[in-house]
Amino acid sequence: MGALQVHVRNKLVAGALAAIPLVVTVFILWYVDSKARAIFNVDQPLVGIGIALAGLYLLGLFVTSFVGHFVLGAIDAVLRRLPGLRDLYRSWKQVALTTDTHDGIFAHVVLIPGDGGTRALGFTSAKGIEGDAATWCVFVPASPNPTSGRLFFVPSRACLLVDMTSQEALKLVISGGSYVPGAIGGALATHAAIERAENTAPLTLP
């Protein structure tokens, strides 16, 4: 593949990744505006968005209040105990937790050892599994479809943490490698430098 083809392909992938959230955002705003105006029988455009924002603000006031915390806690407790739904709810909650809370399987991006000295990109909570605090559970997504993948149980010392968000890592996975953030190369270079320093460290006599 020539340099021009690679350039065009990379730019098309980057453009698609940038366009998808924009298109989704515009569609959601249009849908919310049209539905809110239909419910309140308002003809002026964009008024529905204001109504929706006001509703979200009131909802935020409620859920951050004492009564809201109590209600959400009660709902959470009920969903955790419903047969048939509790496993689905726990899985959804695990995925929904973001890096801001430093919890959930998508909290941290790591590189784990693969065959022949390679590294595989994965996500982990960076917490030891029950019964073995030195082992992490790592989800390695398939590319370009990250909704499927494999789970690996890897010693924490073998996991190379990458200083990047899970959103950036998902862009890499979806692009099929056409988009590779610099944090990946930086983490590998730093790790290689540390290994070289350890292997070439001078021996000290007792």
pLDDT per residue as tens digits for the range 16-75 = 777 777 788 888 888 888 888 888 887 887 888 888 888 888 888 887 888 777 887 788
Q: Say whether pTM exceeds 0.95.
A: no
Confidence bin at 93 (pLDDT 50/70/90): low
pLDDT per residue as tens digits for the range 97-127 = 544 445 678 889 999 998 888 899 999 999 9
Q: Largest alpha-carbon pair distance within the chain?
A: 86
How far is it, in rounded angstroms, from Cα 168 to Cα 182?
Answer: 11
What is the reported pLDDT for 200?
61
What is the reported pLDDT for 98?
45
What is the reported pLDDT for 28?
82
| Share above pLDDT 70 across residues of the chain, in percent, rounded to a whole number | 86
Positive or negative torsion for Cα 47, 53, 56, 57: negative
What is the reported pLDDT for 24?
80
pLDDT per residue as tens digits for the range 147-171 = 788 999 999 999 999 999 888 888 8
Confidence bin at 92 (pLDDT 50/70/90): low
Positive or negative torsion for Cα 151, 153, 158, 160: positive
What is the reported pLDDT for 101?
46
Tell me the fold of 99-199. SH3 type barrels. (2.30.30)
pLDDT tops 50 at residue 205: no
pLDDT per residue as tens digits for the range 47-61 = 888 888 888 888 888
How far is it, in rounded angstroms, from Cα 17 to Cα 117?
Answer: 30
Residues of the chain with CATH 2.30.30: 99-199
Helix (H) or strand (E) run with residue 93 in it = helix 86-96
How far is it, in rounded angstroms, from Cα 162 to Cα 96?
Answer: 20
